[in-house]
Amino acid sequence: MPKLREFGPNTTADDLAAVLASDGAAILRDYISPEVTDRVMAEISPFINATPEGRDDFTGRLTTRTGALVARSPACRSLVADPLLIAAASTFLKPWCARIQLHLTQAIRLKPGQPAQMIHRDRWAWGTWLKGIEPQFNTIWALTDFTRENGATQVAPGSVDWPDNRVPAAEELTQAVMPRGSVLVYSGAVFHGGGANQSTGDRVGLNITYALGWLRQEENQYLSCPPEIARTLDPDLQALIGYSMGSYALGYYTPPLPPGAGPEVVPPQHALGHDAVGWGLPNADLAAISSRQSGNES
């Protein structure tokens, strides 16, 4: 059976990005303290307990999936904006984008008796049309111990280059067994899936994922965290969840005001009360755009 490489809390962003490029997944062991884990669980447990179970086999008929965690949990915000993982996600994804964005926040609870999930790629959220790029950098934070018995995530290390129709054999899979407070870090291309919970307790993980800034997000952050809530967040987190331009001309809007009552073209952060001056791409990106052949767009 293959094994996942493990790193300690003092690892570097470059190390994590490199192992995801080759293996597709790794474990960041004992990354957050029991106190932080307790705080996260205390804030999101009422929402988890009120969440109905899935209605199909893929989402899990004995699984609950709870979102909108940026709006609901201050403790989750610190995990979403974790400096090491943001740096690793940026290093891993920046070859294909000007900026990264938050793609999904979801607390996933596997109840006892939940069968193993179908092995899949998370990048299939966009179908199978994206070729030659990696769109996603993903994390699952263990809020309970992840064991073989309670459904620790199954992963096929090294599967990042497999064709989409490849079905992993049992001997090609391993499980992300890790103690509470650890993090499974994995790419959008690696084959994986939730394990079977054959224990008597819940397995709870926090799925926080990042994507290329020019792609549609799986969790619509503008509805999960609307402007009236987003205004209260740190500016870096505002930009990360999507209140920023995805590229030079991706994401602007026009406030629907009476004639002459407002601007015509502003970036998303304008909805949060920020000045719209200087909202384009960095000069290097503008230089790259200007060097292309003209006549493609007007």
So where are the chain's domains?
Answer: 6-221, 245-290
Tens of pLDDT along 85-122? 999 999 999 999 999 999 999 999 999 999 999 999 99
pLDDT of residue 228: 96
**What would the CATH number be for the domain defined by 6-221?**
2.60.120.620
pLDDT of residue 276: 54
Gap between the Cα atoms of 239 and 237, Å rounded:
5
10-residue block means of pLDDT along the chain (298 residues)? 95 98 98 98 98 96 98 98 98 95 98 98 95 96 98 98 96 98 98 98 98 96 96 96 89 90 90 68 49 50
Give the tokens for residue 59.
């989402």
**Residue 63 contacts residue 54 (beta carbons within 8 Å):** yes
- For residue 14 the two structure tokens come to 């470059």
Report the predicted TM-score, pTM, of the whole model to 2 decimal places.
0.91
What is the model's pLDDT at position 279? 47
- The SS3 of residue 108 is strand
Q: What is the pLDDT of residues 245-260, one digit of tens each?
A: 888 788 989 999 998 9
**Residue 183 and residue 142 in contact, taking contact as beta carbons nearer than 8 Å:** yes
Query: How far, in Å, are 87, 129, 276, 285, 289 from residue 281 at the CA level?
Result: 19, 26, 13, 6, 10
Share of the chain above pLDDT 90, in %: 86
Strand partners, 101: 211
Average per-residue pLDDT in the chain?
A: 92
